[in-house]
Amino acid sequence: MVRNIEKILKDKEYLIIIADLINQEKVQEMKQYRQHHKINCFEHCLFVSYNTYLICKKHHLDYISAARAGMLHDLFLYDWRGSKKKLHLKHFHAFLHPQIALYNAEKLFNLNDKEKDIIVKHMWPVTLLSFPKYKESFLITIFDKRSALKSFFEYNKKQFSNTKFYRYAYIFFTGLLFRIF
C-alpha cells in the first residue's frame, strides 16, 4: 500500500483526476481532523483513493470514479471521537458518516452513481445492509479497512512488537489483504 505522499504527488494522471477535489476549500479542511492515530482525514482519503486508483487501473475498472470517490469517502468534517455524544447523533459515527460524507460531497460536486455508491457504502461490512454495488465500491472498503489497520499497528507497534499476538495478527491481516490482490 502506497503511504508516500511524495510518490502520489508525482503521478500526474492521478492528480489531474482529483485536482478539482483537492483544491476545494472543504476538502482541504479535512486536514484539520485526525482520522486514525497520526494520520489526518485528508491524508487517509488520499492514500485510500490512490491505492484504489492503482488497482482499478491495473484491472481495467473505473479508476476515475474510484479515485474521485475515494478522495471524498470521509468528507464528514468533524472530530469523530466522542461525536455521538458531542454532536447529539442518533447512532455512532461508523454508521452515520458515509451518509454525511455523501451529503457534503453532493453539495460541492456533481457525482455519478458509482461515486455515490462508493462513498455511501465504504463502511461495509460494518454497515451490513449497505453491500457495495460495484467492484470499485468493494475495493474502497478494502483499502479503507487496510489503512485503518496499518495505522493501528503502526501506532501500537511498541506495545505489541514483543508479543506473539502482534506478529501473528500483522502477518495474518497483511497476508489476507495481499492475497486479495
pLDDT in tens, 71-121: 998 887 655 555 544 555 555 555 567 778 888 889 999 999 999 999 988
pLDDT of residue 62: 98
Task: Decide: residue 81, CB within 10 A, 0-12 exposed, 13-18 middle, 19+ buried.
Answer: exposed
- For the record, the C-alpha cell of 139 comes out as 475495493
The pLDDT, as a whole number, for residue 133 is 84
- The one-letter amino acid code at 53 reads Y
This prediction has a pTM of: 0.75
Please report the beta strands in 9-98, taking only residues with DSSP state E, as ranges in sequence order: 34-36, 39-40
Distance CA 20, CA 86 (A): 32
When pLDDT is cut at 50, 70 and 90, the band that residue 143 belongs to is confident
Cα torsion through 22, 4, 142, 54, rounded to 10? 80
The answer to whether residues 171 and 165 touch, using CB atoms and an 8 Å cutoff, is no
